Structure 1
Amino acid sequence: LPFVLRQSPAFVAWQDKILCPTIRLRSDTFNLREVLLDTATRLGADRRVAERAYEAGMSALGQFRDRYLEAGRAALDKLARTGETGMVLVGRPYNIHDPGVSLATARKLRDNYGVNVIPIDALPVADVDVRDLNENMFWEYGRKILAAARLVSEHPNLHIVYVTNFKCGPDSFVRGFVRSASGGKPFLTLQFDGHSNDAGMMTRCESYLDSKGILRWWRKQQDQPTEGASKDGPSISHKWPTPVPDSWPPVSVPSGSKRSPLQTPIPKR
């Protein structure tokens, strides 16, 4: 968009007002620090102040990512120990975490159906090798999606909800490898185009949950007003065994007539 604006006659007089920093995310030409410092000084900020702000911001981001992965590992451990089912939400963060784009699908899966949702960014997939699936995956999130699918293949109680958007070129290519990566597990694809309505999306989610036996499981548990978990029922532990920020809302999971708050790493915007 900034490049288009620069070519518009209406913006000729504003050429020097359009800031269009180019950030290279490839590891060999990573230039984020210098670009941000240059932009800050152009906006009138003192460079030393901008440097301190950059370092503080990167430190906070690193801490957030560490805690996010810690919460994800704890969630996977919890599901493995209790046998509860989890839905891994894969896709790009601007799709899965934006409630406007995704129609808050993760939150509705949690609140309406008691589903344990784990976003892709909370999964420890950095060391998962996917070269046998695609030796030269160009897109970073394409690699992460395949790695997440491979992780799902190793956990029988994990399933995939793939969130994409209309005419996403990379997804049309990556999605073809997901089934192989997940060990042949059927997965649900939700494609958002800005004109979707949540009723249609939730109908598809219900059908998917029902095909997995999870929707029937949820309704069955609602009819069992017991204090403890039944032999085949879900855990009723009061929370995930890991601290998470207050901004992450609790998950409601059925346990008889109650709902036990489980913490899951879904950032609240």
Structure 2
Amino acid sequence: FRLVLSPATNAHISKTGIETIMAETCYPMKVSHGHIKELIGKTRYLFLPSIITMPTPEPSEVGYFCPMVQSNSYIVRMALGIDPSSILSPVIHFKYDLDTIALEISEQIQSKLGVRKAEIKKALYYAMDKQNQFSSELYRKGRKILEDQDPDEPIVIVTGRPYNLYDERLNLRLGQNLSKIGIAALPMDFIDVSSVDLSDFPSMYWGFGAQILRTARFVMERPNYFSLHLTNFGCGPDSFIEHFYKHIMGDRAYLILELDEHSAVAGVMTRLEAYKNVIENTMRKSRSDLKVDLRVVN
């Protein structure tokens, strides 16, 4: 099969998505419409899976994706008037074991693609192996970065969903802008937080929500770590998650950046620079308190 990808998010894709979406949603949903419209006519099939769940560290966790992610293939089909016969939209539960996922996918798209179930299963196993290798490499690099980090210097762990964290149009080049003002930062996907205890949130519904909260707890265990949460105006799951996130962070300085299509770099830079000042003041106070404690002990 020949794979066709949409280009990186740009002004045209963003504008197209905003103009074609049929209801007010978060910015990433609007952008997804622009990406899909960009691909219409360039490929025989559009692969628009309905992904329901993600793998979870604990069997008791359900790991659901946002309802917008789950239903996007249906929403965009209606908004853009796409012929259903040109769409591959299998319902996928990544929380299931691989054999079940392979069966789930093959039952929905096998006839359209004209391939055997065994071929789909083989492709799925290959893809998941590559994904696991990629995740392991991210964790390895993340461990190295954190091990090399001076314990007297702060580092900011950035939480959020991947379509925000790694799309420079959606996050207004957040990584570059943090670096520009001298803040060391690391996205949450570089840290394996699967062993972090989240048992005091037993009914956590959202997969990414659980990862965000585990990362916040990971940050709180280290005095020179700080957290920046990237979200969007109109994000339903985050409207719940942020209460728990704030509870975990307690008195530790954190920043929540809520972006949409109206956000501008200048406003973001003002927030980042203010957060940097808060972090530096917090670190200075910690050093001062440590000196006082040492004097008392001596």
Instruction: Say yes or no: TM over 0.5.
Output: yes
In the alignment, structure 1 residue 120 sits paired with structure 2 residue 120: no
Measured in 2, the distance between the counterparts of 1:50 and 1:208 equals: 48
Report the counterpart of residue 240 of structure 1 in structure 2.
none
Report the counterpart of residue 135 of structure 2 in structure 1.
65
1:4 CA displacement: 4.5
Aligned amino acid, residue 241 of structure 2: V
Measured in 1, the distance between the counterparts of 2:99 and 2:183 equals: 39
Report the counterpart of residue 227 of structure 1 in structure 2.
none
Aligned amino acid, residue 22 of structure 1: V
Report the counterpart of residue 153 of structure 2 in structure 1.
84
> Superposition pairs for residues 132-171 of structure 1, below 5 Å?
132=200, 134-171=201-238
CA shift digits 1:8-47 (9 cap, x unpaired): 8x66xx3433332111234479854234445366234565
2:174 equivalent among 105, 110, 114:
105
1:204 CA displacement: 0.6
RMSD: 2.9
Measured in 1, the distance between the counterparts of 2:243 and 2:260 equals: 20
SS for the counterpart of 2:169 is: helix
> Superposition pairs for residues 239-258 of structure 1, below 5 Å?
none
Q: Quickly say closer, same or farther: Cα 1:171–1:15, change in 2 above 3 A.
A: closer
CA shift digits 1:76-110 (9 cap, x unpaired): 2222x553211100111111111111112022212
Q: Quickly say closer, same or farther: Cα 1:125–1:169, change in 2 above 3 A.
A: same
CA contact (8 A) 1:23 1:31 kept: no
Measured in 1, the distance between the counterparts of 2:276 and 2:235 equals: 25
Measured in 1, the distance between the counterparts of 2:75 and 2:145 equals: 45
CA contact (8 A) 1:95 1:163 kept: yes
1:18 equivalent among 80, 87, 112:
87
Structure 2: where are the runs of 5+ without partners? Answer: 1-71, 285-298
CA shift digits 1:113-149 (9 cap, x unpaired): 23221111111210111222x2211111111111111
Percent of pairs identical after alignment?
31
Q: Quickly say closer, same or farther: Cα 1:197–1:47, change in 2 above 3 A.
A: same
Report the counterpart of residue 51 of structure 2 in structure 1.
none
CA shift digits 1:208-234 (9 cap, x unpaired): 1012228x99xxxxxxxxxxxxxxxxx
> Superposition pairs for residues 209-220 of structure 1, below 5 Å?
209-213=276-280
How many equivalent pairs are there?
A: 211
Measured in 1, the distance between the counterparts of 2:198 and 2:277 equals: 30
TM-score, normalised to structure 1, is 0.69
SS for the counterpart of 1:100 is: coil
Structure 1: where are the runs of 5+ without partners? Answer: 218-269
CA contact (8 A) 2:151 2:224 kept: no
Measured in 1, the distance between the counterparts of 2:217 and 2:138 equals: 20
TM-score, normalised to structure 2, is 0.62
1:153 CA displacement: 0.9
CA contact (8 A) 1:25 1:31 kept: no
Q: Quickly say closer, same or farther: Cα 1:135–1:30, change in 2 above 3 A.
A: farther
